[in-house]
Amino acid sequence: MTSVLITDDHPLYAKGLEITLKQYCPTWEIFQADHIETARTCLRRHPAITLMLLDRTLPGTDGLSHVADFLKHFPTLRIAIISASESHQHIQEALEAGAAGFIPKSASPDEVVIAIKRLLDVGFYIPTALLNPTYTRPLATDTHLSAQQMKVLSGMANGWSNKQIASELGLEEGTVKQHVYAICKKLDVKNRTHAVQVAKMRGIIC
């Protein structure tokens, strides 16, 4: 059963989010927490929670600073940051922290449902309207991607596995893995999903 933990200290917004999710799928189990420690307790009691919607701004803390710890202790959990801010910098920071997605609080109920479906089905979600190809931010010292790495990155963006990329490019799967590692290191991200999103935000790929 799909279960969602809404972690937000604004009761009206959190309740509206719960109603939206229940209307979409009445069988989903929805939990609520208004503080990081409350969320942590909820996850310990219900370790099978599928998705966590985490407000970036919580009482006395920044939600992003807890993402890595949550993922360490609950590795199957997917976390999406919800925020009143639609800043590209904040989106990138969410991805770099390990979040699987970003949902602006301005999103309509239909947009929220689309976001949740994509997070559950694909594993990540960023609103297309917020993917600004002209956005740039200081990169790591060595950010140049070779022609081969660009081809691998394009395959990653298509959702291909390392095996599929290897077959398409005529490479060994181990070589593709090395390219993926190098791409993630150069983009200063933790996994291939985030690499694709950051590459799109920086205009490296469309």
Q: What are the tens digits of pLDDT across the range 69-84?
A: 999 999 889 999 999 9
Q: H or E segment at 3? A: strand 3-7
Q: Where are the beta strands (DSSP E) in 90-205?
A: 101-104
Count of the separate structural domains present in the chain: 2
Please name the residue that has the structure tokens 């997917």.
78
pLDDT for res 123: 80
pTM over 0.85: no
Can you give the CATH number for the domain in which 193 is found? 1.10.10.10
Mean pLDDT of 143-150: 84
Q: Judge whether 138 lies within some domain.
A: no
Q: Which domain holds residue 159?
A: 147-201
Q: What is the residue-averaged pLDDT of the chain?
A: 87
Q: Please check whether residue 106 is in contact with residue 17, taking contact to mean a CB–CB distance below 8 angstroms.
A: no
Is residue 139 in a domain? no
